[in-house]
Chain A
Amino acid sequence: MPINASVDDPEKARRFREAALPYLDDAYTLARYLLRNATDAEDAVQECYLRAFKHFDTYRGPAMKPWLFAILRNVCRAEYARRATTPTSAIEDVPESADQTPLWHEAEETPEAKLVRRWDADTIRRLVAALAEPFRETFVLREIQNLSYREIAKVAEVPVGTVMSRLARARAMLRSAWLAEEEQCK
């Protein structure tokens, strides 16, 4: 229906702008943490929005943010795959079995009376970026993007139980890195 398409598109684009563009910063933030590179993140977000616009007709809600994130995550995974064929820039991926490893050894030596220090934004960003996948993704979706466990499960295409174990592990790893950072500052 070429006639209708030309008539519908500006209207569709207007609705899409209103619905999706308010999440541009959120999408860019997620892409930055997933890809750890500003240029790649920009490309991924652009690709995400174009795909989202293309599939906007099939969008039935409920929430726009997780819907966009699910698309963005797939774009980013394609980027991982591309990098994996480029050994120099390959990013480490922790095998899924890491989900099952015990959590405690990382923070075992933590003195119970000591409080964690308040780091500045740059330090926190660096510590979070150093987390291995898929824990980083889960952590960012929860702690920075404020998604619920169910929303994260949908975005990451895993059961809620997996979200919980990944989040537990992500926080445990971050906690030990957080404390180790303090040791380095002494």
Chain B
Amino acid sequence: MTCDEAEVLLHALIDDELDAGHAHEVESHIAGCPRCAAALRDYREMSKAISEAGVSYTAPAALRQRIEAALPQPRAVPNRRAVLRGFAMGSAVSALAATGLVAIVLRNDDAERIQAEVVSAHLRSLQAGHLTDVISTDQHTVKPWFNGRLDVSPPVIDLTAQGFTLIGGRLDYVDARAIGAVVYKRRQHVINLFVAQTGNTERRGARIDTVQGFNIRHWSDRGLSYWAVSDLGKDELAEFGEKFERAMPAPG
């Protein structure tokens, strides 16, 4: 290897970008070339000096704030937000960290709390005499029963032919709101399908979580949020959700 080649390749050696074969070639050249060896030593010393001196810059807090202000803000969540605002005030950095954090913490927090409430409601419904307010296997009986009792009555779909028997409907309370629960059965397993209005009109794909031993399939569609809760296995609960969604009348 010539000095001309080595003077370029020794940088790749420093930066650990050379394959073993080339690294060996460069090292052999350097072993016999004091000039290249001195260069290599100096470059390594310089690299070390640069990393140890700390020559990066820290972005000014004002820049961070300007960027933050220019981005769409996380959705307002009134009460908790106000509580958290207190410690979001520290500095620009902590304020930023807090806004990011608030969005995440609240999201999970709310979702988890509602899931826990949904499971509690499911458990309450299993106590004797609590499962249904209206008992009917006929969707045309259950559906009108909800009308007038709720701002938004849940879609009631007969899935008997698909292996899930409609047995009735019930009013329940989740997240301090009255919501509709449509009750289905497969074999001896009860499925409560809780339906609540959401401000969010986008469709959100289903996810299945397990809370206190119960499976919850949650999805949103056309302004409604759905939680199907059951002690059925995840596969069968997923099957239920998919069949329900497929049986929903097309929009418009």
Contact = CB atoms under 8 A, between A and B. Distances in A.
Which of the four size classes fits the interface of chain B?
35 or more
Contacts of B120: none
A42 B49 contact: no
Contact of A29 (B56, B66, B73): B56
Interface in B1-18: 7-9, 11-12, 15, 17
B13 to A, nearest CB: 11
Nearest to A126: B55
A50 interface: yes
Q: Is the interface of A mostly helix, strand, loop or mixed?
A: helix
A61 B75 CA distance: 26
Contacts of A12: 72
A41 B59 CA distance: 9
Main secondary structure of the interface of B (DSSP, over half): helix
Contacts of B8: 164-165, 168
A104 B73 contact: no
Given A28-B57, A28-B59, 7 more contacts: A3-B201, A7-B201, A42-B63, A116-B49, A167-B15, A168-B8, A178-B46
Interface of A: 3-4, 7-10, 12-14, 16-18, 21, 24-29, 32, 41-42, 45-46, 49-50, 53, 103-104, 107, 110, 112, 115-116, 118-121, 124-125, 128, 142-144, 148-149, 164-165, 167-168, 171-172, 174-175, 178
Interface of B: 7-9, 11-12, 15, 17, 34-35, 37-39, 41-43, 45-47, 49-50, 52-60, 62-64, 66-68, 70-75, 96, 99-100, 103-104, 200-202
